[in-house]
Structure 1
């Protein structure tokens, strides 16, 4: 090879490939967040609709079964998330409250608490109770139907129900007061004399008999009034006490009341 054939050595040109662009993740995150928000919104919307339906159904059933006025105010509370409970077939807990509920002459503020309430036929309540709180005017109205009881002079003074009357002795009116202990017997409220007063002085039952003879029989007696006849048979009167200025009646609720029509009929004493 001649000198003229020799070519100068040239440096090689290296081409560096561009790094691939990284795809930005934020559009996907935004999309995921939007989907999550939509799903959450749908869940809460469904929950609200389900809760409203359950509350309205319970309220409607109470009004129908107890023959209450259509505008009776009834507060229904179902704790917890509704949809899983509906899927499971029962409500974990239901609380119901209503004021001035009138069932015949028996009137008061009612509160009910029930657990494991089945939403399909064939089930029973596992545990349910009711409490009725009766004020002085409401108790007076109830006792007005008891023959011979001085309902107009009735009062509530914990732990007793009080009443007063007068004995006519040779034309003179002698005031007699009685403190009555409330109790529950076979579906009836029973008021039993606990203490007596004549003209403001405490006396015993024997002393009252000696002083007034047969007249004393007007106060020395129990005063029963059947409550069960105004309530569904599934409500069993358990106890009655006086708390403050209210007479408080506690009831156990038969678990079959939601599935047995006989339990919705009025009870007996």
Structure 2
């Protein structure tokens, strides 16, 4: 074989091949860019929608919290600057659409009622926002420190309020009894309990001259005078609360008295349940 019969062909120009191969997919690439633009636009719309939802949710939550706070201040005649914390469970907008709040927790410290103040927490579920239905699992907890407890007990006739202390699991107090013209201080440990919706303080231990004695021993020493000590002390709290709240349990926890209340589920339906209670 010679070069005459098989002439050598020139090699393709690499630059030309590159230009050829790169020019053909130009149209599909534009289509990909156009498709990507729709995706970006859709993402932007979704982001804006989510942002709008969160803005609306925040506004709705703030409105509900402020409304609840203002209603409580008005109903209880509290100072306008009373700190009231309102916690709502879950997203608020769907609850407003549904007509009821899934769960609400309201708390405030130093809530003044009459001659005393207390720290209060109220919790309830399925609370109708228009007051046209019953709540569920509603309850309240009221706690009092030593100073607040003295304010409450100041309304109890003959109770030695100035000597009141808290020493778990009891409340302590001291009463002076007269024996042959001498004043004898008698220390008391009083156990709190809830009886028919009323707070009752019952003497469970007695101390004279720093020593524990029994009720019978005190009667032998002081006779009928000991009746001033050996008695239950009922404390009416109904006059400070709506009729729809009933004292369910009470105990001393640490340095505070804790009282739990059942809240009538129909509280928002019956105006009579919102009226103040009375003491027998």
Provide the C-alpha distance between the structure 2 equivalents of 1:145 and 1:31, rounded to a whole number of angstroms: 70
- What is the SS of the residue equivalent to 1:145? coil
CA distance in 1, matches of 2:24, 2:149: 93
Confirm whether residue 179 of structure 1 aligns to residue 184 of structure 2: no
Contact kept, 8 Å, 1:65 with 1:264, in 2: the verdict is: no
Compute the displacement of 1:36 (Å). Answer: 1.1
| Offset from partner CA, 1:175-200 (integer Å, 9 cap, x none) | 21011110112332111111111111
With the length of structure 1 as denominator, give the TM-score of the two structures.
0.90
Q: Distance in 2 between matches of 1:141 and 1:91?
A: 35
Unaligned runs of 5+ in 1: 1-16
Q: 3-state SS of the aligned residue for 1:36?
A: helix
Q: Tell me, in whole angstroms, the C-alpha distance in 2 between the residues paired with 1:83 and 1:72.
A: 27
* 2:233 corresponds to: 223
Q: Quickly say closer, same or farther: Cα 1:230–1:18, change in 2 above 3 A.
A: same
Among 120, 124, 127, the alignment partner of 2:134 is 124
The root-mean-square deviation of aligned C-alpha atoms, in Å, is 1.6
Question: Structure 1 99/121 Cα, relative in aligned 2: closer, same or farther at 3 Å?
Answer: closer
For the Cα contact (< 8 Å) 1:187–1:268, is it kept in 2? no
Name which of structure 1's ranges 211-220 and 183-192 shifts more when overlaid on structure 2.
Answer: 183-192
1:19 deviates by: 5.2
TM-score (normalised: structure 2): 0.87
Secondary structure, aligned partner of 1:94 = strand
Q: Is the 8 A contact 1:108 1:133 kept in 2?
A: yes
Other structure's SS at 1:44 match:
helix
Q: 2: distance between equivalents of 1:230 and 1:97?
A: 17
Structure 1 runs of 4+ with >6 Å offset: none
1:36 aligns with 2:46: yes
Q: Is the 8 A contact 1:193 1:221 kept in 2?
A: yes
Equivalent residue for 2:71, pick from 43, 58, 61: 61
Taking the aligned partners of 1:198 and 1:192, their CA distance within structure 2 comes to 17
Assess if the C-alpha contact under 8 Å between 1:76 and 1:97 holds in 2.
Answer: yes
Give me the whole-angstrom Cα distance separating, in 1, the residues matched to 2:135 and 2:234: 31
Partner of 2:199: 189
Gaps of 5+ in 2: 1-22
- Give distance in 2, aligned partners of 1:234 and 1:66: 15
